[in-house]
Amino acid sequence: MPPPPKPPGVLLPFEFVRVSGRRALISGHGPQSSDGSFAVPLGKLGRDLTVEQGYAAARLAALSILGSLHRTLGDLDRISAWVRVFGMVKFRARLPTTAERYQRFL
C-alpha cells in the first residue's frame, strides 16, 4: 500500500485518518502510485481517461485509503463496517451516471 498522500508544496492542517471513539474518519485521498506520488493519467473521465482507466484510478484511491487506515489502526481487521462512502469523479458532460462506478468500491 502506498505511503501517506503528500500534496506537493502543501502543508495540510489535518490527518488523513482521525479516530474518534470507535470510528475512523477518513479524508482527502486520491489515486496514488506505490511511491506515494499522484497516479497518472490525470484528467476527466470520458475525455482524458477511459472508463477502464477510471476504474484503475478508483482502485488506487481505495488502496490509498486502506494504507492510511492500516497505518493508523495497525490492523485492518479492526474495521467492522463502512458507515458512509463519498466519492467524486470529474467527468465530461453527457457521460452516463457515476453511481454504478462507486459500487465496485463497496
Helices vs. strands in the chain: H and E counts, helices first = 2, 2
Name the pLDDT band for 28 (thresholds 50, 70, 90).
Answer: confident
In this predicted model, what pLDDT tens digit does every residue of 59-95 receive, in sequence order?
899 999 999 999 999 999 999 998 888 888 787 766 6
Cα Rg for the chain, rounded, in angstroms? 15
Indicate whether 10 belongs to any domain: no
- Euclidean distance between CA atoms 85 and 96, whole angstroms: 20
Indicate whether 61 belongs to any domain: yes
Indicate whether 94 belongs to any domain: yes
Give the domain extent around 65.
Answer: 17-101
Indicate whether 11 belongs to any domain: no
Count of domains for the chain: 1
